[in-house]
Amino acid sequence: MSDALDPEVLDAAVENVHRAGMPGLFAEVRDGDQVWRGAAGVADVDTGRPVTADLRHRVGSITKTFTAAAVLQQVEQGRIVLDAPIGRYLPGLLPDGRGEAVTVRMLMNHTSGLAEYLPHAYSSLKAFPALADTGPQSLDDHRFTRFDPAELIALGVAAPAVGPPGGAPGLYSNTNYLLLGKLLEEVTGTSAERCITRNVIERAGLRDTELPTGPYVGEPHSRLYESWFGMIDPPRDYSVYDMSWVGPSASLISTVSDLNRFFGMLLAGEIVSPSSLAQMRRTVPVVSQEGRTIEYGLGLHPTQAPGQDTFWGHGGTAWGAGALAVISADGRRRVAVAVNLQRWNALDSAGRPRPHPIDDALAAFHRVAMYG
């Protein structure tokens, strides 16, 4: 079981992350009726403006949990069958018979075998930095580029499959969630963003959460500093960026308070039904973007320290922004944390990220926040 909140311990842990080199971070931890909010460091390294716990923030792939919830709501209404082939709804989009072999569930739990489109987006569109063969110039080149999700999906679909449909382990791929966005559009007759906003964000009463239609984060927010493994030195602010390159897979803007509210309502069965929540927590092995094999459900995955309670949630990154939101299986303990620097690790001669003091300090804060 997690311990009750100790504000002094949490304050010290969050300050340690800042001292280890993180410009700024902020978090909210809830345990039953107890609430701790804390922040350390700066939101702007030039002016010294401090971070505060109410800032709006890009939360990256935490978006996937929202998209998965919207899809499951359509399953509950009978518009989508979870184990039906995606070709039933989006005919002709997946070639070579894959449209009949890949199911909606496989897209949601990353066992579709579809490749990640991002590396191919660089080689085809010169749109994203590929770590192996380029520097970070394309981040600047595409701050205001508006991408067509169909074009991005086509890149992932055209790439060699990374495995058979339903194969294990799966491979984490943003292509899957762009396809789920197209699925939502097909069955609801509105954009995926509007569907998720109306049925998930507004339903949960999240006042500071949105899927942006432009490159700006509403105030108040931190600047977001991208290091790109030390290739951008000093790290550069990418808080202004058009997130159409990830859309319903990773473009969400939220606050730590809104994230804790959302995950609390989700596990209480107030966003999707208890039976849908059980499907979300039915996991399979999936290889993450970092190359680790994790258990992954339908837009949710578990985290557990040895001998401790299981937490459910998601993490996410964008250019310069990182976030994690998790909730204990019993719904009592909720943790949401946001950081304003990404890819702080320099690379060794083999191209692997070197250890950095931020790594250990941030992991220590996560442990304290989750388990006391």
- Token pair, residue 326, equals 């998790």
In a 3-state reduction of DSSP, which class is residue 338? strand
pLDDT-derived band of residue 1, with 50, 70 and 90 as boundaries?
A: very low
Cα dihedral sign, 271-275-276-281: positive
| Per-residue pLDDT tens digits for 46-93 | 999 999 999 999 999 999 999 999 999 999 999 999 999 999 999 999
335 closest CA partner among 313, 352, 317: 313
Model's pTM, two decimal places?
Answer: 0.96
For the segment 304-323, the average pLDDT, to the nearest whole number, is 93
| Per-residue pLDDT tens digits for 193-235 | 999 999 999 999 999 999 999 999 999 999 999 999 998 999 9
* Residue 311 near residue 304, CB atoms below 8 Å: yes
Backbone angles phi, psi at 191, to 5 degrees: -70, 155
Mean pLDDT score across all residues of the chain: 93
Q: Is it the case that residue 327 has pLDDT exceeding 60?
A: yes
| Per-residue pLDDT tens digits for 113-123 | 999 988 765 55
For the segment 331-347, the average pLDDT, to the nearest whole number, is 96
pLDDT of residue 142: 85
What distance in Å separates the CA atoms of residue 372 and residue 366, rounded to the nearest whole number?
A: 9
What is the side-by-side strand order in the sheet with 333-339? 34-41, 24-31, 333-339, 321-328, 310-318, 301-304
CA distances from 367 to 97, 244, 300 (A): 45, 33, 19
Q: Is it the case that residue 131 has pLDDT exceeding 60?
A: no
Chain position carrying tokens 């192996």: 132
| Per-residue pLDDT tens digits for 32-49 | 999 999 999 999 999 999
